């Protein structure tokens, strides 16, 4: 069993290009395909589930999709999902659901979480139909079996509303999906990266990369061996690169990353680096990770005269 929570399979039915999409996933997946083949739509759908763990489903269902067709054509105005996830304590579960349209009047029609141990009758942790259902936790060492009725708003994913600490499996699953991070080389906030940032305890890189210096400071001070690994990766990709260091700035609690390279007699700050170099550091950031319990999903597109006419997406599911 995988040591950390991991998404092992994705099934999507009725969403944009996915009439009936199925994909088993290993710890590292690289997805390659031509433009319009659905690479971005896969990330978009997973992000929909992540955001659904944190708040209401917006009227347009997928933020920014007004004017786009989000239901597969031809087909009914609904889409469904079926995820298989190995949780950290060795419990494989399936998370299934269905959302029906049209927009504005959409609703989560079904939602279900069950155990997925091969050869064993599934245990149902959550079963929702419409806005009603129940949640269920098997007996444990400190409590008896628990079953409670639940009422959930039609524009909310019920899994994201679970707060009872006794519902261990549902809380673990919701926290895992909520922890997913999505990075795109098109959405790196280079203006933020070039400025000093506040130190954070055990930070994870923001989706726009804005707290990069805080993440590098944490690696340098708490995990120097991983910080050295990161520098080794950079030396292999950037000609002349020598070293990184993170220093305190004038404002209390703020830090800034500096860079040394051959042929330059002074340190360079991140403000001096090109957008491409900043993106590369962000891209390499998850390679040395002290606590690989989150899922990092990256998307990039290769374009230009020296690149083949393909778009490539890679997702690190860790």
Q: In the chain, what are the domains?
A: 6-180 (3.40.50), 189-289 (no CATH)
Average model confidence (pLDDT) across the chain: 84
**What are the Cα distances from residue 213, in Å, to 8, 40, 96, 206, 236?**
32, 28, 38, 11, 21
- pLDDT-derived band at 141 (thresholds 50, 70, 90) equals low
Per-residue pLDDT at 317 = 45
194: tokens are 């070039």
Q: pLDDT tens digit string along 34-70?
A: 877 888 889 899 999 999 999 999 888 888 777 778 8
**Does residue 311 carry a pLDDT above 60?**
no
Choice among 8-12, 67-71, 126-130, 149-153 with the minimum mean pLDDT: 67-71
- pLDDT-derived band at 15 (thresholds 50, 70, 90) equals very high
**Does residue 312 carry a pLDDT above 60?**
no
Per-residue pLDDT at 13 = 97
Quickly tell me which residue has 């989000």 as its tokens. Answer: 70
255: tokens are 């830090």
Q: Dihedral of CA 139/140/144/149: which sign?
A: negative
Q: Which residues, 6 or more positions from 315, have their beta carbon under 8 angstroms from its beta carbon?
A: 29, 30, 31, 43, 295, 296, 297, 298, 299
**More confident: 289 or 29:** 29
Q: Which of 126, 112, 115, 125 is nearest to 92 (CA)?
A: 115
**Does residue 242 carry a pLDDT above 80?**
yes
Per-residue pLDDT at 308 = 35
First to last CA, the chain: 13
Q: Which of 219, 243, 223 is nearest to 231 (CA)?
A: 243
Which helix (DSSP H) or strand (DSSP E) does residue 284 occupy? helix 275-284
Q: pLDDT tens digit string along 187-223?
A: 788 899 999 999 999 888 888 899 999 999 999 999 9
- pLDDT-derived band at 3 (thresholds 50, 70, 90) equals low
Alpha-carbon span 46 to 295, nearest angstrom: 11
Question: Which residues, listed in sequence order, are joined to residue 149 by a DSSP beta bridge?
Answer: 134
**Does residue 315 carry a pLDDT above 90?**
no
Strands (E), 211-265: 241-248, 254-261
């Amino acid at each position: 069993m995988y040591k950390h929570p991991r998404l092992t399979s994705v099934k999507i039915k009725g969403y944009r290009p996915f009439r009936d999409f199925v994909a088993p996933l290993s710890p590292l997946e690289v997805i390659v395909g031509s433009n319009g083949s659905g690479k971005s739509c896969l990330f978009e759908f997973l992000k929909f589930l992540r955001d659904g763990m944190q708040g209401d489903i917006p009227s347009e269902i997928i933020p920014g999709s007004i004017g786009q067709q989000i239901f597969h054509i031809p087909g009914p105005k609904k889409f469904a999902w079926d995820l298989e996830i190995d949780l950290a304590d060795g419990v494989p579960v399936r998370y299934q659901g269905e959302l029906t349209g049209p927009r504005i009047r959409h609703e989560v029609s079904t939602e279900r979480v069950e155990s997925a141990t091969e050869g064993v009758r599934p245990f149902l942790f959550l079963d929702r139909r419409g806005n009603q259902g129940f949640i269920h936790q098997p007996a444990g060492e400190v409590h008896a079996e628990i079953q409670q009725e639940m009422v959930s708003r039609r524009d909310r994913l019920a899994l994201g509303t679970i707060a009872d600490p006794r519902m261990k499996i549902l809380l673990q699953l919701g926290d895992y999906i909520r922890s997913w991070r999505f990075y795109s080389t098109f959405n790196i906030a280079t203006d933020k990266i070039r400025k000093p940032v506040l130190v954070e305890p055990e930070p994870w890189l923001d989706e726009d990369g804005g707290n990069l210096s805080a993440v590098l400071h944490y690696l340098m001070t708490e995990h120097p061996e991983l910080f050295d690994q990161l520098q080794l990766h950079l030396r292999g990709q950037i000609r002349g690169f020598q070293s990184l260091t993170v220093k305190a700035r004038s404002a209390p609690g703020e830090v800034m990353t500096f860079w040394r390279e051959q042929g330059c007699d002074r340190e360079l700050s991140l403000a001096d680096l090109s957008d491409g170099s900043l993106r590369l550091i962000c891209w390499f950031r998850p390679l040395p990770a002290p606590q690989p319990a989150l899922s990092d999903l990256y998307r990039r597109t290769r374009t230009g005269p020296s690149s083949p006419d393909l778009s490539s997406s890679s997702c690190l599911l860790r």
